[in-house]
């Protein structure tokens, strides 16, 4: 048997998403001899964020099932578990390497769980369940600590963002590859960092989705005007977050990623998108940063991670009121 | 007597285009036999732009005007009024632009 090929996963959060994407080094792994098992080394992982979890799950799926359309063979997969017991338990609770579908997570959720375990995106019922469930987790935790109208506003923003995002992934991957989603709610609180004073942290929700589908460039490339813009140098990920940009002109409105991005910006959160070799990150002031991954480190699908800060800016109704004129790119 | 459709009897999370198509079809079927159809959103906890666009946006685009100001009465959904207005505005704008760009028939 050929020597195993090892993927060493390091604990990056949402702000280092490009490093997380690059860690998987899919081209090197899939270029190894077919009988070479893949080792995912999680031993050095000291914390886990949703952005890393969805990439891990989607990568594992690709390795285990293979993808004949890309000449990727199915392989044996071995996991080196994290040294930290709490991280190991957390990964089990998040359903990592579990069945990824069906109503039951691998382990029963604690009554006060703040996370949404990994789930596969299969049907529209599934996307609605996931979005509704995350909203319930956040609202149940905040109840009694926030005014009713704030709860309503926060619930609407979380439900809308996740529902729209998941629906977007499910509809647009256009392949038999499943996408995966998970989320973590970080309640507000006072924390004491080493060597620093007390710090107050606002409540936050991290949401991440990843698939190994056809990717944004190929999806948008089906629309002639968008294909031309990409040929002229437009970054596919940045393009996909503009209002009205859709791979199904006339049929769909192109709201999904635009609403998600605007909510992140408005709430002083973070929005990150990667697909193939292109990346896009948006700041709280709304000025985005387009980037790229070296060809050798491209992610074979699409990945989005976002952080919503539970602040006054989390108001989806205001975003609808500010809807810009539709660009009619498809005309 | 106007027909009343209650989406929450099926789902309380109006999140997907598939569900939007389902409700739109119910409205269209209702309008065949009634002058007015009431969409009662009581119990609907959340609504996404995809659902609203697929349901109210496309109905308005087909009709050529805001259906919620005419044969489709929406009740108990004040929290979704910004969204519904926005998707209808966009669809009607698209329709107008499309009509302007098409050559006039002789």
**Could you tell me the pTM of the whole model?**
0.86
Q: Is the pLDDT of residue A270 over 60?
A: yes
Q: How far apart are CA B92 and CA B104, in angstroms?
A: 19
Q: Which chain A residues are within 8 Å of B43, Cβ to Cβ?
A: none
Provide the pLDDT for residue B60: 96
Q: What phi, psi does A39 have (nearest 5°)? A: -105, 125
Unique residue bearing structure tokens 């098992």: A37
Name the minimum distance, in Å, from the CA of B95 to any CA of chain A: 10
Chain B touched by A327 (CB under 8 Å): no
Contact B15 A167 (CB under 8 A): yes
Closest residue, chain B, to A133 (C-alpha):
B13
Greater confidence (B99 vs B17) lies with: B17
CA distances from residue B75 to A182, B4, B13, B34, B41 in whole angstroms, order as listed: 34, 10, 17, 17, 6
Provide the pLDDT for residue B104: 59
Closest residue, chain A, to B86 (C-alpha):
A320
Q: Which of A132, A164, A331 minimises the CB distance to B49?
A: A164
Name the minimum distance, in Å, from the CA of B3 to any CA of chain A: 26
Contact A163 B93 (CB under 8 A): no
Q: What SS3 state is found at A289?
A: strand
Mean pLDDT for all residues in chain A: 83
Provide the pLDDT for residue A175: 59
pLDDT band at residue A93 under the 50/70/90 scheme: confident
Unique residue bearing structure tokens 């969805």: A54
Lowest mean pLDDT among A156-160, B46-50, B73-77: A156-160
Domains of chain A: 5-101+112-321 (3.30.565.10)
ipTM tops 0.95: no
Q: Which of A131, A253, A325 minimises the CB distance to B87?
A: A253
């Amino acid at each position: 048997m050929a020597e195993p090929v090892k993927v060493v996963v390091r604990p990056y959060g949402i702000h280092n998403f490009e490093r997380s994407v690059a860690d998987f080094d899919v081209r090197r792994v899939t270029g190894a001899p077919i009988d070479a098992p893949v080792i995912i080394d999680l031993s050095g992982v000291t914390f886990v964020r949703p952005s890393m979890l969805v990439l891990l799950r989607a990568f594992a799926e690709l390795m285990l099932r293979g993808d004949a359309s890309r000449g990727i063979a199915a392989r044996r997969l071995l996991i080196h578990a994290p040294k930290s017991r709490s991280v190991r338990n957390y990964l089990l609770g998040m359903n990592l390497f579990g069945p990824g579908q069906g109503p039951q997570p691998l382990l029963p959720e604690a009554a006060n769980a703040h996370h949404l375990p990994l789930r596969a995106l299969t049907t529209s019922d599934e996307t609605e369940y996931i979005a509704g469930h995350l909203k319930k987790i956040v609202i149940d935790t905040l109840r009694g600590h926030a005014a009713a109208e704030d709860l309503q506003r926060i619930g609407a923003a979380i439900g809308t963002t996740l529902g729209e995002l998941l629906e977007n992934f499910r509809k647009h991957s256009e392949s038999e590859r499943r996408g995966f989603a998970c989320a973590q709610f970080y309640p507000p609180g006072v924390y004491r960092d080493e060597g620093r004073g007390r710090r107050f942290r606002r409540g936050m929700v991290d949401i991440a989705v990843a698939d190994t589908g056809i990717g944004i460039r190929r999806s948008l490339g089906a629309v002639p005007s968008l294909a031309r813009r990409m040929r002229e140098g437009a970054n596919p990920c940045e393009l996909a977050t503009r209002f009205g940009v859709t791979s199904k002109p006339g049929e769909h409105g192109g709201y999904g990623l635009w609403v998600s991005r605007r909510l992140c910006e408005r709430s002083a959160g973070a929005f990150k998108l990667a697909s193939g070799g292109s990346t896009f990150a948006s700041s709280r002031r709304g000025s985005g940063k387009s980037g790229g991954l070296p060809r050798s480190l491209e992610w074979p699908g699409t990945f989005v991670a976002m952080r919503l800060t539970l602040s006054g800016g989390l108001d989806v109704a205001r975003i609808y009121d500010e809807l810009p004129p539709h660009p009619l790119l498809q005309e | 007597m106007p027909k009343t459709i209650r989406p929450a009897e099926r789902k309380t999370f109006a999140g997907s285009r598939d569900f939007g198509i389902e409700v739109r079809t119910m409205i269209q079927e209702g309008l065949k036999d009634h002058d007015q159809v009431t969409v009662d959103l009581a119990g609907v906890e959340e609504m996404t732009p995809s659902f609203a666009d697929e349901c109210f946006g496309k109905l308005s685009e087909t009709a050529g005007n805001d259906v919620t100001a005419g044969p489709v009465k929406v009740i108990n959904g004040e929290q979704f009024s910004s969204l519904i207005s926005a998707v209808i505005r966009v669809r009607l704008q698209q329709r107008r632009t499309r009509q302007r760009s098409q050559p006039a028939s002789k």
